[in-house]
Structure 1
């Protein structure tokens, strides 16, 4: 299957939001409102246009999307900028074909190129480690809400980027 990964453009927004909506329509762990989240994040100060990526098929249809946005890791003494990977969306008929993995790898590489140090994800404990994600608790990084330790994960984009970081992740208000 020939898939192109590229930066999302403003003219893609409606199609992208439809992909996100369809991707989560029957997901049991979802509130089925991820497409609204994508829309809100695009208008927030957390949005990084270069890290909003789409997967396009040979017919130029958008079949997948991922977004990486700014977050902070805060403690009493400091604040560290990091990134959040969310959501990752693939149209149901294209799921389990490697498009999601390709989007994630492209987002990680682009974030590295842009000079970011780390990414946080709330995701499946058996899926994200294949990209290098580890339990965020390894660095004493916690979610701002109750979540099982094995699904709150972090990835250092630069070796040692989280070495002196610890605290609670602060998401953009657009997430809520």
Structure 2
């Protein structure tokens, strides 16, 4: 049975390996390490999928800012989501997203932003972020720039620029 839980210190090497195996380069693995040491890191929102003591997948949510004419608003970034290649297609990524949304909600966050696969994230309720008047400071196709409102309607009167944690700058 797969268990979803917040990361512990002892998981860091396995999380690095999981991200390294899941992506063509080690950018995501290095990004996780950088974000873990940043002001954007939220304790409890680095989540692993574990079975029989082995880390099979990982998801990370970190704080970001939406800069708008009404002020700055805090939301979360979902990045990265990784499942070891031998375990992909078994619902582990879906489990990580569902568990992550539940934890984000329990901590009082209201929205999650992701730049990701447009065929994958909408099944969890993500939709194009530009429909809500959000923008990124770098070019991304409309269909890949998505948002999830943990609190429905939260973004109805918030339009502005999504500012990812500065650690992302090295990889954009």
| Same structural fold, with TM-score higher than 0.5 when normalized by the shorter chain | yes
Post-superposition Cα deviations, 1:71-107, rounded to whole Å, max 9, x if no partner, equal 0011244111100000000000001110001001100
Instruction: State the partner residue of 2:92.
Output: 99
Residue 136 (1) aligns with residue 119 (2): no
After TM superposition, the structure 1 stretch with the greater mean CA deviation from structure 2, 163-172 or 75-84, is 75-84
- Alignment partner, residue 12 of structure 1: 11
Distance 1:116 1:33 in 2: 27
2:134–2:160 Cα contact (<8 Å) kept: yes
In the alignment, does 2:42 pair up with 1:48?
yes
Q: For residue 153 of structure 1, what is the aligned residue in structure 2?
A: 146
| Structure 2 counterpart of 1:28 | none
Partner of 2:115: 122
8 Å contact from structure 2 (residues 7, 46) kept in 1: yes
Unaligned runs of 5+ residues in structure 1 are: 26-30
TM-score (norm 1): 0.93
Q: Any gaps of 5 or more consecutive residues in structure 2?
A: none
What is the Cα-based RMSD across aligned positions, in Å?
1.0
Contact 2:70/2:158 (CA < 8 Å) preserved in 1?
no
Q: Secondary structure at the residue paired with 1:49?
A: strand
State the alpha-carbon separation in 2 of the partners of residues 41 and 94 from structure 1: 25
- 1:80 paired residue among 69, 73, 76: 73
Q: 1:71 and 2:59 equivalent?
A: no
TM-score between both structures, scaled by the size of structure 2: 0.95
Deviation >3 Å, runs of 4+: none
C-alpha contact 2:19 2:26 (8 A) present in aligned 1: no
Is residue 2:164 matched to residue 1:175? no
